[in-house]
Amino acid sequence: MGITIFYRGRLRNLAELPQLTAELQAACARLGWPCHPVDERILGTAERYNIVPVECDDGIPTDTFEVYEVPVDDHVRGVVIHPPDCETLFLTFGRTGQTVRYEDVPFGESVPGHYGMILDHLWCKTQFSSPETHVHVCELLRIAGKYAAEWEVLDEGNYWQSGVFQELQATWARYQAIFRALSDPKVMQETLKSAGVDLEEADSIEVGRTIPRVAPPWREEWGISAGEN
């Protein structure tokens, strides 16, 4: 939950990628945001998923996920940007020019050469930063959009669509009010009770805790060239 920007696209011409990377780095330098170039060979296996419809006992159809492993040989280039108090912004593209991100393997020990989910629909949650940071993330996405043959952005703050900062501020204030309410133990208890949760049996609830993500050893040095000719 929280204001998030979803995006996906495909570059018009891979030959323009160095120019796009340079423009994004310059924009981040003006903002004072860390920006790391990516030039990485992805070779091994990764995971994809299919959405599989299933019918529950109550007769109401629903969907589940079927995960399967696929071989990959990709070349990911672009930049990884770290806006302040915000999720990481991945503007990275594969061999076909499609936005792509290879997730770390969830659970268990990481195995070199095996990656987690292949994502081409990406996102950046800005909720815990500020409206101003949200605007700058949209500006970076617009820079990338200039180089794209296809570029789709869904902004839950509606700034991408409207360009009206006051509208973003109003949406931001509504979300902040919701989070303040949910951070109140009394409000949280009433919400859980209304959802049918047995509070006497439930474990203690931690609100606002950040779960760290640790990159596997072979992905620690972003920006090292893939060395392809």
pLDDT tens digits in sequence order for the chain, 229 residues long: 689 999 999 999 999 999 999 999 999 999 999 999 999 999 999 988 877 776 666 666 676 768 889 999 999 999 999 999 999 999 999 999 999 999 887 665 667 888 888 999 999 999 999 999 999 999 999 999 999 999 999 999 999 999 999 999 999 998 888 877 777 677 667 666 665 666 665 555 555 555 566 555 545 554 444 555 4
Looking at the structure of the chain, the number of domains it has is 1
Range of the domain at 95: 4-162
Does residue 171 lie in a domain region?
no
Does residue 201 lie in a domain region?
no
Q: Which long-range contacts (CB under 8 A, 24 or more apart) does 176-180 make?
A: 178/1, 179/2, 179/127
Does residue 37 lie in a domain region?
yes
Does residue 220 lie in a domain region?
no
CA–CA separation, 54 and 80 (whole Å): 37
CA–CA separation, 229 and 226 (whole Å): 9
Nearest to 137 by CA among 166, 128, 108: 128
Give the pLDDT confidence score for residue 175 in this predicted structure.
Answer: 87
How far is the CA of 37 from the CAs of 22, 177, 221, in angstroms? 9, 37, 10
- Three-state SS for 181? helix
Does residue 113 lie in a domain region?
yes
Give the pLDDT confidence score for residue 48 in this predicted structure.
Answer: 86
* Cβ-contact 157, 172 below 8 angstroms: yes
Which residues face 98 on adjacent strands? 10
Q: What is the DSSP string of 81-95?
A: E--TTS--EEEEE-T
Does residue 132 lie in a domain region?
yes
Give the pLDDT confidence score for residue 104 in this predicted structure.
Answer: 83
Does residue 41 lie in a domain region?
yes
Does residue 136 lie in a domain region?
yes
What is the pTM (predicted TM-score) of this model? 0.76
Give the pLDDT confidence score for residue 186 in this predicted structure.
Answer: 72
Task: Please list, in sequence order, all residues whose beta carbon lies within 8 angstroms of the beta carbon of residue 115, skipping any fewer than 6 positions away.
Answer: 42, 44, 45, 46, 47, 72, 102, 103, 104, 105
